[in-house]
Amino acid sequence: MTTVAAFDVDGTLTTRDCVVPFLELLVGRTRLAAAIVGRPVASTAALVKRDRDRFKAIAVRAAYANRDADSVRALGVSFAERVRAQLLRADTPKRLEWHRQQGHRVVLVSASLGSYLHPLGAMLGVDAVLCTEVVIGEGGRYTGELVGANCRGPEKMRRLSDWLAQMNIENVDLWAYGDSKGDRELLAAAHHSFLVKDSQLSEVPEELS
């Protein structure tokens, strides 16, 4: 039996959303807003339909398109350091570290962006980062298009299932941590699920303390 602990990031490990602040870091708040407003039909349709995935794709394209991958990578590392220093919750990172100390496999499964989530995952010592990625095209520049789907809702469980298969992990004791309906499928699939919104998590699971 392999114990795997899957953590959402925004609102679960952190105190707030990280996507918008990073997009604003890339292009500035004013330019980001102007780029979204500059696509009124698509943006309005996404808002009317409450299509968060579509609206996010529009914002990501506005911030990433034609950006040099190396420069974005450097900003991602800097932003990850800021997240670790200023934006982590007091409780859930301790639970993550407890899982690591127990020898469990720890995975971040998040709709956050790989540009900063991969370096943050390395800082936290996790085994894998499954997240939303952006296509790098010719000349080492981002196209602005997402690689596959936004890693939210059912996509989280699909990504995790694919990773487990790649790692040849079949007999799994799954622990999952989330804070929103975007984590619903992940939490439902877990043997031990923790909805951490508006609650404090103990460092050691109460059932084991």
Cα separation, 45 vs 12, in Å, equals: 29
How confident is the model over 55-79, as a mean pLDDT? 94
In sequence order, which ranges of 28-170 are alpha helices (DSSP H)?
Answer: 29-37, 40-48, 52-64, 69-82, 92-101, 114-124, 154-166
C-beta separation of 72 from 26 below 8 A:
yes
- Among 22-36, 54-68, 155-169, 193-207, the least confident range: 22-36
163's tokens: 């990773």
Q: Which helix (H) or strand (E) holds 114?
A: helix 114-124
Residues 97-118 have pLDDT tens digits of 999 999 999 999 999 999 999 9
pTM listed for this prediction: 0.91
Assigned CATH topology for domain 2-195 = Rossmann fold (3.40.50)
Question: Would you call 65 exposed, middle or buried from its count of C-beta atoms within 10 A (0-12, 13-18, 19+)?
Answer: middle
Q: What is the pLDDT of residues 160-177, one digit of tens each?
A: 999 999 999 999 999 999
Question: How large is the average pLDDT for residues 9-33?
Answer: 92
Tell me the pLDDT tens digit for each residue of 125-138: 999 999 999 999 99
